[in-house]
Amino acid sequence: MSDNKPRTVVVTQRFFDEETIAYLQAQRCEVRLAELPPGKADGELAEDTLAQVLAQADGWIVGHARVTRALLERLPGLKVIARRGVGYERVDTAAVADLGKVATIAAGGNDASVADHALALMLAVQHRLRESQMQMNAGSWAILTGADLYRKTVGIVGLGRIGRSVVQRLQGFEARILAVSQQQDATWARQHNVTYVDMAQLLAHSDVVTLHAPLTPATRLLIDAQALARMKPTAVLINTARGGLVDDAALLAALQSGAIAGAGLDVFLSESDPAHAGTTQALIALPNVVATPHSGASTHEGLGRTNRIAAQCVVAVLDGGQVPAGCVIADGRPRA
């Protein structure tokens, strides 16, 4: 460390715990928690507002705000942008590198939380929990027949950290697991009863299709009308990854027509494009849809882990130290 000058770290996310604040303070960081409007997240803040909030920041712990070149050019003193999460499609990584800054993600922090959430949605949809409670609220205790997850075929699209965590949880259900993955590990697959297949096979044979792929140009609208038509009419779709993976209008049509049986959704196209808000509202109104507001990673434990990893990344960059493994997504620092 070159000096003892305090560094300013601005946090534009809610639910930032006292333990992580204390950790940052012990590392000579002054922590400033941005005041967000009630019910609003940092992704809804205007660029001018963000520029003002971050004017004195050396480090920024960010949620869903867009990290654009235009914003970064207004923040010459900002050295590190740490996402409290793992998706980074809203971060202009090329601009980060061009401008000599570092961007990181909280790799490994929310794997368990999101995997748990995916299983919860599978069970809730299969057992028709929402439909049953809706009927009970309306005064009917008629029994709706659900479906087991036990020994069913589950198709997993994407075997990164979260996808593999889902595989581990499915072992107790004795599920047959099909997977589409760019990287294939035959030994690991054999140990976990995973069979690698292509997308067409996965869609045709799965009782549950669960998405755990990143959002890229290649995966955008991966689940479209054609893909949904390949699924079993008794199958359900689970998406805890990114809204852009699914054509929500096509999903709405498939659910309304009975082309598939149900869906568990934590993410929606309307999160990044308000033009789809009407479709989102129509989806979450359906009795065979269990919906949550992109909250899969938002457990006390998961947020604590991702807060700490993001803070460790900030400190490592500011100190010129080693960033936790797998966390750097853009690095514009001069090479030695």
The string of pLDDT tens digits covering residues 82-107 is 999 988 989 999 999 999 999 999 99
Q: Is the pLDDT of residue 336 over 70?
A: no
| Residues designated as active site | 242, 271, 294
Residue range 207-213: average pLDDT?
Answer: 97
Q: Which of 17-21, 33-37, 195-199 has the lowest mean pLDDT?
A: 33-37
CATH 3.10.310.10 fits 7-109+298-331, yes or no: no
Residue range 173-190: average pLDDT?
Answer: 96
Contacts of 106 (CB under 8 A, 6+ apart): 82, 83, 84, 85, 86, 305, 306, 307, 309, 310, 313, 327
Distance CA 72, CA 15 (A): 25
pLDDT at 1: 43
pLDDT at 38: 85
pLDDT at 5: 79
Q: pLDDT category, 41, cuts 50, 70, 90? A: confident
Q: What are the extents of the domains in the chain?
A: 7-109+298-331, 111-291
Q: Is the pLDDT of residue 274 over 70?
A: yes
Tokens of 120: 């919860």
Q: Are 223 and 247 in contact (CB under 8 A)?
A: yes
Residue range 185-204: average pLDDT?
Answer: 97
Helix runs in 272-299, H state only: 277-285
Q: Is the pLDDT of residue 47 over 50?
A: yes
Residue range 302-318: average pLDDT?
Answer: 97
pLDDT at 2: 46
Q: Are 309 and 327 in contact (CB under 8 A)?
A: yes
Q: Tokens 């989806």 appear where?
A: 283
Pick the CATH number of 111-291 from 3.40.50.10260, 2.30.130.10, 3.40.50.720, 3.50.50.60: 3.40.50.720
Q: Are 318 and 59 in contact (CB under 8 A)?
A: yes
Helix runs in 99-247, H state only: 111-126, 129-137, 161-170, 186-191, 199-205, 225-230
DSSP state string for 89-107: TTB-HHHHHHTT-EEE--T
Positive or negative torsion for Cα 166, 171, 173, 177: positive
Q: Are 12 and 36 in contact (CB under 8 A)?
A: yes
Q: Kindly report the average pLDDT of the chain as a whole number.
A: 96
Q: pLDDT tens digits, residue range 101-130?
A: 999 999 999 999 999 999 999 999 999 999
pLDDT at 40: 82
- pTM for this entry: 0.90
